[in-house]
A = this chain, B = another copy of it.
Amino acid sequence: MTYCAGILVQDGLVMIADTRTNAGLDDISTFRKLHVFSWPGERTMALATAGNLSLTQSIVSLLHEGIPNPETGEAETLQNAPSMFRAAQLVGRAVRIVRETDGEALREAGLKYDMSLLFGGQIVGQPMRLFMVYSAGNFIECGMDAPFLQIGEHKYGKPILDRAVTFRSHLYDALKVGLISMDSTMRSNLGVGLPIDIIVLRRDAAAPELNRRIEAGEPYFHDLRERWSAALRAAHMAIPRPPYEPTGE
């Protein structure tokens, strides 16, 4: 299992991914799912992956190698894509190429071609954008009304994002709420686990402002988890009990 979230606010982009993979409950490993493509001063992009690891790793490798343009034959890469939209299309093409390569054999083995991606970033001088790419290679773009996208085990961590993040949120509040969302998910699904990779891209900055791994025992995240638990406990205890009078039948 996996949980990744991308949050796009006024001042920039936050992307968060866990690192737990499992082939059955008896085979659990740690793999990086947040991949950063950065050319300082020029462009920074990040890709978070969920789903079958063999597929998503192949997609990342393809993006590093570049994909020949079907018309010109020239290799297209994230570094030479003329816009974030064209870069997202390139990611979608990588998804389709891997589907062509592996999809049929997976189907024969009784497996689905099952993956999804978050892809965000900025080319200097152009808008910062965040996309969710589906397993068919199509994609949607994050808007200002609900300024986040999620992949993987998204339900446990969605309520806090719904309630606490707006496009006008402070960039590091967005990171904080993303970490609370990750905490809620980790508490309910053992398939999502530490360490967590995070990246913060400030809008119009020339390079990632933060590109970091949070390991088990990291003081801030530990404190955040404790504080959030205590605050939730206080919150529900402060609500009065239902005043309903007995009305049995």
**Contact status B242-A175, CB under 8 Å:** yes
How far is it, in angstroms, between the C-alpha of A180 and the C-alpha of B239 when the chains are bound? 10
In the complex, whether A122 has a CB less than 8 A from a CB of chain B is no
- Give the residue name and chain of the B residue nearest to A171 (CB): B241
How far is it, in angstroms, between the C-alpha of A163 and the C-alpha of B184 when the chains are bound? 10
Taken together, the copies of this chain in the complex come to 2
Partner-contacting stretch, out of A26-34, A113-121, A207-215: A207-215
Where chain A touches its partner, the secondary structure class is helix
Q: Which of A158, A242, A244, A246 lies at the interface centre, i.e. has the most chain B CB atoms within 10 A of its CB?
A: A242
How many chain A residues touch B (CB < 8 A): the figure is: 51
In the complex, whether A179 has a CB less than 8 A from a CB of chain B is yes
Chain B nearest CB from A183 CB (Å) reads 9
Interface string of A121-161 (1 = CB under 8 A from B): 00000000000000000000000000000000001101110
**Contact status A176-B242, CB under 8 Å:** yes
The residue that A172 contacts in the complex, of B210, B228, B234, B241, with Cβ under 8 A, is B241
How far is it, in angstroms, between the C-alpha of A249 and the C-alpha of B239 when the chains are bound? 46
Interface residues of A in 156-193 (CB under 8 A from B): 156, 158-160, 162-164, 170, 172-173, 175-177, 179-180, 184, 187-188
**Contact status B211-A248, CB under 8 Å:** yes
The residue that A163 contacts in the complex, of B179, B211, B232, with Cβ under 8 A, is B232
The residue that A176 contacts in the complex, of B224, B228, B241, with Cβ under 8 A, is B241
5 A-B pairs with least C-beta separation: A231-B235, A155-B155, A208-B248, A172-B241, A207-B248
* Chain A positions near chain B (C-beta within 8 angstroms): 36, 38, 40, 155-156, 158-160, 162-164, 170, 172-173, 175-177, 179-180, 184, 187-188, 205, 207-212, 220, 224, 227-229, 231-236, 238-244, 246-249
Listed by A's residue number, 8 A-B pairs whose Cβ atoms lie within 8 Å are: A155-B156, A160-B232, A162-B187, A175-B241, A179-B242, A211-B248, A220-B242, A234-B235
